[in-house]
Structure 1
Amino acid sequence: MSTIYEAAGGMEVFVRLAEATHQRCLADPLLNHPFSHADNQPDHTERLAAYWAEALGGPPTYTTAMGGSESHVQRLHAGEGDYAVTASPRFVRCVVESFDEAGVPDDPKVRRAITDYVTWAATGPFQAWGRSKDDVPDDLSLTHWDWDGPIR
């Protein structure tokens, strides 16, 4: 059985998905503020695409070639508290609404797997550090996800 990454169409699809999601988040009044700061990172969508791709069975580009770590990602989202609770479902909606534009296959199993992963990530790990970025451990590893959910 192929990975979610392969079934979705590979890196090109994840880059388009990250770009389309980013644009939808910029257009959302609640999500605009944090996503407008991503413009200070010209490679934001490429990093997001690599992160999603790696988590869903693709190459380890985010953690190896981009020097990314899960601890860094969690620190970016730490301390958001009530904002994260409100914003997370809207972020997931932006991702899902970007599927067609990004060319995610019209396969319910693929779309459900990506939706489940993004929902899990946005409502679980990204809300775990509600108080402070100082609470985030230094050694978190990126959680990988397959057709049955999270794997380590």
Structure 2
Amino acid sequence: MTTIYDAAGGLEVFVRLAEATHQRCLADPLLNHPFSHADNQPDHTERLAAYWAEALGGPPTYTTEWGGSESHVQRLHAGEAEYTVEASPRFVQCVVDSFDEAGVPDDPAVRQAITDYVTWAATGPFQAWGRSKDDVPDDLAMPHWDWDGPVPLGA
């Protein structure tokens, strides 16, 4: 079975999607603050693209080449539960509004799968650590998503 990553068009599409989403977030008054800080990391969009790609069935570039871990990602977002409740739907909309610009195929199944993943990630894992980055365990496994939703750990 084809992965969402492959059906979407591979890494190039996810890089364009991350870049277009980033620009939309910068233009949004609520999302601007955290995304303007991302500019301090010139590789932010490449990291985000690699993260999305890996989560959606692509190569493990985020974890192997970028040295990323899910614990690190969750710590970046910890302590922002009140903010993310309001910001998450707007972030998801920025992603969806970027589909055409990024070249995400005009395939309803592909677009829905990416939308479902981003919605799940933005409203689930990224709101799980509402109090403090100190609450985030050191050994969180990166979540993966396929056509049926979240992939159980170890599958």
SS at match of 1:62: helix
For structure 1, the 5+ residue unaligned runs are none
Shift of 1:82: 1.0
Identity %: 88
For structure 2, the 5+ residue unaligned runs are none
Q: For residue 134 of structure 1, what is the amino acid of its counterpart?
A: D
Q: For residue 22 of structure 1, what is the amino acid of its counterpart?
A: H
SS at match of 2:39: helix
Q: Distance in 2 between matches of 1:69 and 1:82?
A: 24
Match in the other structure for 1:59: 59
SS at match of 1:52: helix
Match in the other structure for 1:73: 73
| TM-score for both structures, normalised by structure 2 | 0.97
Q: Distance in 2 between matches of 1:142 and 1:115?
A: 18
Shift of 1:90: 0.3
Aligned length: 152
| TM-score for both structures, normalised by structure 1 | 0.99
Shift of 1:10: 0.1
Counterpart mapping for 1:1-152 below 5 A: 1-151=1-151, 152=153
Q: Distance in 2 between matches of 1:135 and 1:50?
A: 25
Q: Cα RMSD over matched residues?
A: 0.4
Q: Distance in 1 between matches of 2:139 and 2:119?
A: 23
Shift of 1:81: 1.9
Could you give the per-residue CA deviations for residues 55-109 of structure 1, whole angstroms, max 9, x where no partner exists?
0000000000100000000000000021110000000000000000000000000
Q: For residue 46 of structure 2, what is the amino acid of its counterpart?
A: E
